[in-house]
Structure 1
């Protein structure tokens, strides 16, 4: 292999590694400062782009998209300023219904919601309710444990796909 190709590949690998390290560090910092019961992640994309990407992931996975609440647009409608702030409401009744069968109060937290917002520093963040936290909040006491694990993994995968560089 030509020396310049080796150098180019090495530089590309270094940049990819640095980008990945920054991305995962930013996510770790965001999660460390998250309010109790929320999983918070940083997105390298704008609020609009993160929302669009997340909705495409939902569609690809066959999940229901129920609504999007545009808090920033609603604020502007009454003459108030709010940085971009959106809530995407989505879910899968096959997964959520068994949790409500365990404890009907789960219905207050279902369907799932994803908050996407621009923070004070101009960075895009997203957050969702930690399913394990909700299990404790609604005192499921072992009922729905497998569903909660499934939901946790699915939310992690869905959001990671939306915020991938």
Structure 2
């Protein structure tokens, strides 16, 4: 069940929700919530900063890469190719209308992509957690 404000892009497997905060603050909120829940933060990539470093313009856009081996390893035990989609990621960006969006890959789409059929409980738990963290970080 999807919450209000959550939009689904079925063709590409990406879920999004709109944030009430600027990009940097939204990513800070995600990072704090994930760390408190025991996730490891592997990287925070400032795509707009990278663009500025080569004199190109890009609206604020950041990628947060994180994971929990307890879940990711189970998926990779089923099919190691899923490692291309792990660790998990949130992309936070300012859209053309100046609104901040939080996006992430739907774990159900990821496992379907890799033909993993034996990890439904893990996938459901991941879906709930990703939606919860995004919704919490995005709310006013």
Q: Tell me which interval the TM-score lies in, with the shorter structure as reference length.
A: over 0.9
Structure number having the greater strand percentage: 2
Say how many residue pairs are matched: 138
CA deviation vs aligned residue, 1:27-82 (integer Å, no higher than 9, x gap) = 25xx1567520001100111011011111101211110010111000011111000
Residue 68 of structure 2 corresponds to which residue in structure 1?
A: 92
Residue 99 of structure 2 corresponds to which residue in structure 1?
A: 123
Structure 1 segments, 4+ long, off by >6 Å, are none
Unaligned runs of 5+ residues in structure 2 are none
Q: Which has the higher contact order (CA 8 A, sep 6+)?
A: 2
When Rg is computed on C-alpha atoms for both structures, the one with the higher figure is 1
Contact 1:34 1:40 in 2 (8 A): no
Q: Is 1:158–2:133 an aligned residue pair?
A: yes
RMSD over aligned Cα atoms: 1.5
| Cα distance in structure 1, aligned partners of 2:78 and 2:41 | 24
Contact 1:130 1:152 in 2 (8 A): yes
Q: Report the alpha carbon displacement of residue 144 of structure 1 after superposing the two structures with TM.
A: 1.2
